[in-house]
Structures are given as C-alpha cells and as structure tokens.
Structure 1
Amino acid sequence: MAQAPETLPDFSDRLSNLSPALPALLWNAHDDVLRFHACILARDIATHATVDRHYSAFTVARIVVQGASLPLPGEKETDQLAKICARIFRYLYGEVEEIFKYDLYRGMIDLVQTVEEKGPGLVTHGTMLMLCELYVLADDHDDVADRKIWFDGIRKAGVGLCKWTEGKREWNEDVLELLYYVEFTLGCKMGAQREGRALLFELSVTLRRLADTLPAPKSEELVRKIQRRVDGMQKVCLWMDQAEMDGMTAALRDIGIGSV
C-alpha cells in the first residue's frame, strides 16, 4: 500500500488562490459539497505519514482559520468566506477521529489564546466571525457539547481583547470592531441562553470600567464608538432580572474581574 505524502493537505494553497467569485459560488453550494471536502481533510489527517498526526490536525485547523481571514475585495465576500470556512470546520470536526478532535480545537483557538498578550492584530474579523458562526451552527443543531467549545473560544477572544486594551492603557478601534461580533452577531442568539447573557454582562462590566478609567481618546469618532460598544453591551441587562445581575456581579468579583 502506498504511503500518504509527507506534505500537509494543500488546503492553504487552494484558499490562497481564491478568486473573488468563489465565496459566492460556495455560498450557494449544497452542504454535501462542503462535507465532502471536510471528509477529504479528515482522511488526510488520519492517513498522514508523519509520526505526529496530532500536529497535522492542529495545523489543518490553523489553515482553515487563516483561510477565513483572507482579504477579499468586498465585505460581503469576506463574510461569506468566513462562514463557509466555519461550515467546513464544523463538518471536519464531526468527521475526524475522536483522538484528533482536541487537536482541531487547539488549532482553532490558538490565535485567540494569544490575543491578551499580542493584541487584535492576530485575531481578524474573519476569525471572530468564524467562531461566532460555529457557535450559531452548533446551537441551531442542538449540539450542546460543541456549542460550549466554540463559546469558550469566543469568551477567550472577548476577555483577552479587553485585557489587552487595559494593559495598553489606550483604546484601539480594531478591538471595538471585533467586540461588535460578540455583541451583535451573537447578541440575539446568545441572549436566549444563560451562558451568553453571562458573557455579555461580563464584557459590559469590563467595558464600562475601562471607559471610566482609561484616558479618553482625542478622536471624537472613537469616543462615539466606545460609547456604542458600552451601550450595546449594557443591553444584555434587559434579558436579566436584578437577582441574576447581582449573582453575576458577585461571581465576577469572586474571580477578580469586577475588582480589577
């Protein structure tokens, strides 16, 4: 039997050569097409000739995430590509052998976990939108366990962006734009679940505190964007009664967030 090639799947090369028209074509493609592609990637991981197949799974996950972040001419095409990559990754996660699922998860949120130290430059709009889309897809299909995994990535990104802002002692427009996806893209979906309300409430507390303590930016437009993010996050309070708000405030204080 012939051995599998030593090289990783060329998915990154294919994504790098995307034409502007391809996201629209894939957007209308039947899910079976994306599932078939995910099956090929899963088989590539399982039959890879390298000693460390776990690293191969990690790398493939990183490649899909990076593919979701490719710059395309239009905002619509860029958003479509991120959501397409989320669907491919969802199928890949479902098709791959159980022993490789954790490696895929690590590859997926590898960039997210460094955002607290390295800032928003590593987490693009495509990355954030892909995470949000994975959460929505898992919720739509009632995959509770998977939903918790992607939610953990969203929380790491949101909290990490806030901590990076606090460490820099200045506001960053990219941070505010990335938090938009947590606030609006998932706001309605997450608002129906306690975990989502808790995250939005946590971020609203942090943003309000940062708005009160960090130096005000000189740009009036940036000031308005900060206010919109703070106001938007605070809307989560409409989903909670006072007892739930008090409970979450106490819980945040217990883990050192409310008092930082």
Structure 2
Amino acid sequence: MYLLSFVLCPSIWSILVKVDPALQTPMYFFLSNFSFLEICYVTATIPRMLVDLYTLKGSISVLACATQMCFVLLLGGTECLLLTVMAYDRYVAICKPLQYSLFMNYNVCVQLVTASWISGIPVDVGQTYQIFSLHFCGSNRINHFFCDIPPLLKLACGDIFVNKLAVYVGAVVFCMVPFLLIIFSYGKIISNILRLSSAKGRAKAFSTCSSHLTVVVLFYGTASVTYLQSKPSQSEGMGKLLSLFYTILIPALNPIIYTLRNKDIMMALRNFQTKLLM
C-alpha cells in the first residue's frame, strides 16, 4: 500500500532521485526533472478544474485564461524537448558507452535541462499575446476543460489565418522536430542493439528504452492530433478528450510507467519506505 502511494506520487519520485546515491546518474537526473515537470503540468489545469466543478460557475477572467494557456503551452513544449534530451541520453549510453561520461557530464546535463525549460518561453509568451490580441465576438464561452488554443480560435472574429499558421509552426518546431530527433535516436539505438551478440544484453538495452518509448507514443500521439489536425471542425468532444489525455492522464501515468519497469527505482522505493517506517 505504501509502495503504491509512492509510485503514484511524482513529488516522492523526484525526492528519491535526490536522496538515493544509486540514482544519481544522468538518466535519473533527467527523470527527476521530468517528474517535476509533470507536477507542474497537472497543477496548471487540475486545480482550476476542481474549483469549477465545486462552484459550478465555470467562469475565468481573461488574464487567468491567458496565464493558464501560456503555462500549458510552455510546459508542453518543455516536455517535448525533455523527452528528446532523454532519448539522446539513451542513444549515448547504448551507442557510445565508452564516451558516455564525457558526453553526459553534469554540466552538459544541466545545460540540456535548462535549455529545455527556457527555450520555449519567448515563443509561448508571444503566441499567447497574439491569441489574446484577437477580437472575440459572440459567445464568450469556451467549450473546453481549460484555456487552450483550438477552442479560443473558434471564438475569434475576422481572419485568423496568421494565428493558425503560428500554431502550426510552433507545433512543428516544438513537437514534430523533437519527435523526428527521437525517431532518429531510436533508429540508431535499435540498430546498435540488434548487433549485440548477447540475448541478455539486447533484452536489458530494450528494457531501458521501453518506458521512454511508451511515454513518447502516448504524449506525442495525443498532442499531435490536437495541434496538427487538418480539419478545424474536429469534434469538440474528441478535442476535449485528447486534451485530458496529454494534460492530466498521461502525466499521472508517466511516473508509474517509469517506476514499475525499473528495478533501481523499486529498490529505492523499498529503502525509502523502510526508513519512513523506522
């Protein structure tokens, strides 16, 4: 019971990486940042949704809506970049093991994580400003669980071609380009793994990548359909369902996906549980 509660709590997951010496490697450094990102991601949407469900009002100011959308975009872009960094880490570990400590030293890891967090800030702030500079007429009701670009554009009046183009460009830069880099990294990884003579070595290498691949497929699959959809008339129900997946369900599942298939994390969880109960 205690073990399951730790698995389900991303904040405990992050603390484990900080306090357990066995987890202080580049891979777990990236995973701790990823876990913290997921905490921020769900915090940007769930509290407001719970307040709306409790009060049954569902109203939000323009400033609060813009702030929420900006954070969702920023955190989503950061997740795309961080997943790419994690794929690169696996690529170096499997394809260039003798140079791993050189390529992935502490300073490089910090620089990669910092770049993932801050590179999207000017773009996302600019895109949020552009969206909320539009003229909105008619209904002021957003048919969505939170403030997101597609439902807001449906309320805008006049020509929004430039805004749609900006959304597509942003999605390509922060979603599709990182995704292609991940595919390239895993192409190299799989090619290298298949050349291993030991079946046990191949199984271990695939095991270290399977969790990351699962997260990539889940996140990119739903986010890409939402922001790269070709038809603006996509059903609103489907759009809301996909948004729930990549902003709430997937961030909640990610710590479980990474934990249950990782022996080091499971051992650290047991040790942490033992210390708490002593």
Same fold? TM cut 0.5: no
Q: Of the two structures, which has the highest relative contact order with CA contacts closer than 8 Å and spacing of 6 or more?
A: 2
Normalising by structure 2, what TM-score?
A: 0.28
Normalising by structure 1, what TM-score?
A: 0.30
Structure whose CA Rg is larger: 2
